[in-house]
Amino acid sequence: MIVGILGLGHVGLPTALGFAENGWSVIGADRDSAKVAQVARGEAPFFEAGVQETLQRHLNSGLLQVTDSIPSAVESCDVLFVCVGTPQGDDGAADLSQLEGVAITIARNLNGYKLIVEKSTTPVRTAERLKRTISRYANGNHEFDVAVNPEFLQEGTALHNFLNPDRVVLGVETERARDLLLELYRPLVARSELAGDNPEDRLIVTDLNTAELIKHASNAFLATKISFINMVGDICEAARADVKEVARGLGMDPRIGPRFLGAGAGFGGYCLPKDLRAFVRIGELNGVDMSLLRAVENVNDERINKLMHKVHEALWVVQGKTIAIWGLSFKPDTDDIREAPSLKVVTRLLDEGAYLRLHDPLALAEFQKEFPEQVGRLEYYDSPYEAAAGADAIVLLTEWRDYLTVDLSQVRDTMEVPLLIDGRNLLDPAAVRSLGFEYHSMGRR
């Protein structure tokens, strides 16, 4: 069986490598020829732990081939995982044009039975439409099945997540599709058997619509946890309580769990914001009251205002002030800045006439594509120390571990004013203040 991966982005490339790691022959295809050429040279097009080395290994082993010809990938493969983007459209609903484009190409190049697996995150009933589109454009020429296998990887640990999934969700309509997918995922399931788990605890075989809903509902729930703790953080701030301790106490309850309870500048990235909006939209189109999730979104949108309010309270006049930004990626361990809070914060500070000195361990190059350097106005630094030198304040926007090991007394000595606004509650308030900093965080005493 040859596995095809259509779309070599943050999901497609780790997926291709994961299947190659499990011994399958994989053809990865993307319409972006420059990206394909880069991948073919053994260069990962984005930062993701382990991807670069694994890519080089499987190009050499021959298990992975890449192409910018989607038709040839369709012709050569038995199973096709569709991993194209499903960005947000103008009305908040998912823009499914990449998915439709790939469906039409698949249909026109069918040369025998294929299993087409939707891995992209999509609103419920998209797989039905995928199937209808392929049927229309294939003119009934060949047999095929459509399945849904949503991806739950997290950027920064994508390859690890693929190889050690907390769950595998398979939405299928036929036994043939189910058997093929189970064969593909058997090595992962076998690994969990070795680890002493019951594989059934990690595997869900269900219908197409349910599989799509599991993904959207998961992301909506994670977003809800974050907005919930941010709301609690605002109450903590008003009541002079500490949201980190409240979150710790909450998370000790096994029914709640400790993760996704970090109060701060809110969630960003390619998944939570757009998937939440798409879920709200599909719910409303189906006549469901989605006000709970609308509130989740509103709370998140307000985080930037909350952070900017802190900046104004601390700095008074922003115009003409020099501000160091520590952290640009939407979360640590990735260079992805899609929907990162930093995009909004930098825009607002620039509009207000601040001079910005930006640092991020990985995302500087990506950020510069959106905000080119302007000497004296918007500058990029490889070191957090250099970024902070001469600044009137540091605004910390991503909880990189690197910032925990910065020598803050050295930073303090080079700043114009030792003022730190911690948008992620990363640092210890007492420790930072003891070094002579004025320190503000989100929802803490």
153 binds ligand NAD (CB under 6 A): yes
- Dihedral of CA 161/10/216/214: which sign? negative
256-261 long-range contacts (CB < 8 A, ≥24 apart) are: 259/225, 260/222, 260/225, 260/226, 260/229, 261/225, 261/226, 261/229
| Residue 116 beta carbon to ligand NAD: minimum distance, rounded to whole angstroms | 13
The residue among 39 and 307 lying less far from ligand NAD, judged by its C-beta, is 39
Amino acid at 209: N
270 binds ligand NAD (CB under 6 A): yes
The residue among 104 and 435 lying less far from ligand NAD, judged by its C-beta, is 104
Contact with ligand NAD (CB under 6 A) among 263, 271, 282, 328: 271
84 binds ligand NAD (CB under 6 A): yes
222 binds ligand NAD (CB under 6 A): no
Q: Write b or e for each residue in 415-430: b if 16 or more Cβ atoms lie within 10 A of its Cβ, otherwise e.
A: bebbbbbbbbbbbebe
* Contact between residue 115 and residue 144 where contact means Cβ atoms under 8 Å apart: yes
| Residues β-bridged to residue 355 | 322
* Contact between residue 171 and residue 131 where contact means Cβ atoms under 8 Å apart: no
The residue among 127 and 271 lying less far from ligand NAD, judged by its C-beta, is 271
Site residue total, ligand NAD (CB under 6 A): 27
332 binds ligand NAD (CB under 6 A): no
35 binds ligand NAD (CB under 6 A): yes
Amino acid at 81: F
124 binds ligand NAD (CB under 6 A): no
9 binds ligand NAD (CB under 6 A): yes
**Alpha carbon of residue 282 to chain centroid:** 21
7 binds ligand NAD (CB under 6 A): yes
Q: Which residue is nearest to ligand NAD (CB)?
A: 9
Contact with ligand NAD (CB under 6 A) among 22, 25, 109, 121: 121
Contact with ligand NAD (CB under 6 A) among 44, 77, 102, 282: 102
* Contact between residue 242 and residue 252 where contact means Cβ atoms under 8 Å apart: no
11 binds ligand NAD (CB under 6 A): yes
Q: Which residues are catalytic?
A: 271
Distance CA 90, CA 299 (A): 21
Footprint of ligand NAD (CB under 6 A): 6-12, 29-32, 35, 70, 83-86, 98, 101-102, 120-121, 151, 153, 155, 270-271
